[in-house]
Structure 1
Amino acid sequence: MKESKVSVLVGEGVVTVKREGSNRAVLANVLGTVEVDGVEVLCLDRLVHSAHEQQFGEWALSGAVTTLLSRPRKEQAAATSH
């Protein structure tokens, strides 16, 4: 199966998903963020992926009713040095 190119932009309380070749973007609200064992999980208010999709770049996808985006947590040394 061909992997589609998708960009995921995380903003303040929202996530925008844009698929290459489409002029539509899907906007979803972030219901909550959880960190477990160094993995960041964003809980969205809607389904933004299809059943056959498992990955959007660095984000792993899961969920049947709403999408859960997860990725390894990046070190934020710059934020802690302020």
Structure 2
Amino acid sequence: MPKDSNVSVLVGEGVVTVKREGSNRAVLAKVLGKVEADGVEVLCLDRLVHESHEQQFGEWTLAGAVTTLLSRSLSPITGATA
């Protein structure tokens, strides 16, 4: 089983940057769409930014075969009821 790499995901205005520890390269992908539903945020990227064995980048869950879908739980909003 491959060792999980330390990967940082930076979400900017319409773009996502993925940087792997130990690499000088960063992968930049455009955000094609963003959906928030049932306390989950999903970003659809314009390219694949993860390897087939990778399932998680920190708080982000990874999916997709042609483009990467990043999903994460949204932080609870102050004053919201469960």
Fold equivalence (TM over 0.5): yes
TM-score for the superposition, normalised by structure 1: 0.90
Structure 2: which amino acid aligns with 1:69? L
Answering whether residue 60 of structure 2 is matched by residue 56 of structure 1, we say no
CA RMSD in angstroms comes to: 0.9
Q: Give the TM-score taking structure 2 as reference length.
A: 0.90
The aligned counterpart of 2:15 is 14
How many correspondences in the alignment?
77
Q: Which has the higher helix share?
A: 1
Identity within the alignment, %:
79
Q: For structure 2, list consecutive stretches of 5 or more residues without a partner in the other structure.
A: none
Gap runs ≥5 in structure 1: 78-82
1:65 equivalent in structure 2: 66
